[in-house]
Amino acid sequence: MGRPTKCTAATTAIVAAHIAKGLPKRHAYALAGITHTAAEDWIRRGEGGELRFAAFSAACARARAEHVEVRIQRIQAAAAGSGDGRPGDWRADAWLLEKLEPQDFGKHRVELSGPEGGPLQVNDAPDLSRLSDEELKAWRDLAAKAQG
């Protein structure tokens, strides 16, 4: 017979309380005196149907949901305004949409590269051969003016 599990009602309550306050899981686990590996194993086993760990798994999920709910309520309140006539801040709504629906509202980064991942070649020299003499003179005058 192995040693007794640390997955007790007291440990579960400590971890859940810290997660509900917004602590990252690894910090909540440390404050309860358990390792990240053990806690994640308990969650996996609880989600897999092992009754011994189901309460821990459910409590962690519920605590996270409670934390998210409180933060969303605060963001929505900020977006709505203070109630004293001051307008809300649209950035709160934008931030929430960006985080909840990143595929539609998130910031997307696009990287461009040249052939085989090499640098992208940019030719910024304009083709002046298609300009008439009059257009070419105007272009030179503008370029000279821009250079000071």
Is 16 exposed, middle or buried (CB count within 10 Å of its CB: 0-12, 13-18, 19+)? buried
In a domain, 49, yes or no: yes
pTM over 0.75, yes/no:
no
Q: Is residue 125 part of a domain?
A: no
pLDDT in tens, 11-22: 999 999 999 998
On whether residue 38 sits in a domain, the answer given is yes
Q: Per-residue confidence at 97, pLDDT binned at 50, 70, 90? A: confident
Task: Give the gyration radius of the chain's Cα atoms.
Answer: 29
Question: Do residues 88 and 79 make contact, with C-beta atoms less than 8 angstroms apart?
Answer: yes
The pLDDT of residue 94: 81
pLDDT for 6 beyond 70: yes
- 143 lies in a domain? no
Low-confidence winner among 25-29, 63-67, 77-81 (lowest mean pLDDT): 77-81
Specify if 142 maps to a domain.
no
Rounded CA separation 56/13 (Å): 9
Give the range of the structural domain holding residue 59, as residue numbers without chain letter: 9-105
- In whole angstroms, what is the distance from residue 46 CA to residue 116 CA? 47
Q: Based on the structure, what is the number of domains in the chain? A: 1
Place of tokens 């910024």: 124
Q: Is residue 133 part of a domain?
A: no
- Examine residue 95 and state whether it is found in any structural domain, yes or no: yes
On whether residue 78 sits in a domain, the answer given is yes
